[in-house]
Chains A and B, each alone.
Chain A
Amino acid sequence: DVKVTQSSRYLVKRTGEKVFLECVQDMDHENMFWYRQDPGLGLRLIYFSYDVKMKEKGDIPEGYSVSREKKERFSLILESASTNQTSMYLCASSLAGRHSPLHFGNGTRLTVT
């Protein structure tokens, strides 16, 4: 069965900390994505990657960076966490090609205090 695993279900960090959110997929998918989910705002794309070491900005990349050193792993980095980055973060992957279904992880609830 297709699986996208996010390393933490809940995470609490302090303002100014560097935060790493990890995501691993076991489906040999080319594409990987990081979304942010907030009530009333839906799903917003932060960054995506269509190949190892490749990355593209999404709609809200400010304050975030990403790393993809291996095909199966895509990391989201908050260089200096701020309270407005408190949110649910969803990782997803898909096959290459247009309109391939996204497979989502179960999310990481990050709280920045």
Chain B
Amino acid sequence: GENVEQHPSTLSVQEGDSAVIKCTYSDSASNYFPWYKQELGKGPQLIIDIRSNVGEKKDQRIAVTLNKTAKHFSLHITETQPEDSAVYFCAASGDGGSQGNLIFGKGTKLSVKP
């Protein structure tokens, strides 16, 4: 089955710097890659996703890139702000009939220092 590796597990940056979180996946049939952000005391929330027919997607300060050949995808946050501090999860899934095959990475705790 699918296996998703996420690095780093913790990341500390200065406000205004960029942050990059990387994930690799094992199943070449996976074609959907969402990213979730979990703030303290809350459940995860979808922030951006990408499908395998697209190499890059951007939404304001957040971008995701996908390299299908290498089977890895990355989250890029530019001009980081203290409110970006949270735990970020990547995930991967294929075309299964339900969403029970969404596999999450172990998470990255991002700290943005003012």
Question: Does A98 lie at the interface of the complex (its beta carbon under 8 Å from any beta carbon of B)?
Answer: yes
Complex A-B: 16 CB contacts under 8 Å: A31-B99, A33-B100, A42-B105, A43-B44, A45-B102, A48-B98, A48-B100, A58-B100, A92-B43, A98-B96, A99-B51, A101-B34, A102-B44, A102-B102, A104-B43, A106-B41
Cβ of A96 to closest chain B Cβ, rounded Å: 9
13 more contacts with CB within 8 A, not counting A98-B99, A101-B46, are A33-B100, A40-B106, A45-B102, A48-B99, A98-B32, A99-B32, A99-B49, A99-B99, A100-B99, A101-B49, A104-B42, A104-B45, A105-B43
CB-CB < 8 A to B41: which residues of A? 106
Residues A42 and B99 in contact in the complex (CB < 8 Å), given A92-B43, A104-B43: no
**Which listed residue, A33, A48, A99, touches B93 by the CB 8 Å rule?**
A99
Interface residue ranges, A against B (CB under 8 Å): 4, 31, 33, 40-45, 48, 50, 56, 58, 90, 92, 94, 98-102, 104-107
CB-CB nearest in chain A for B41: A106
Q: Which of B6-54 contact A (CB under 8 A)?
A: 6, 9, 32, 34, 36, 41-46, 49, 51
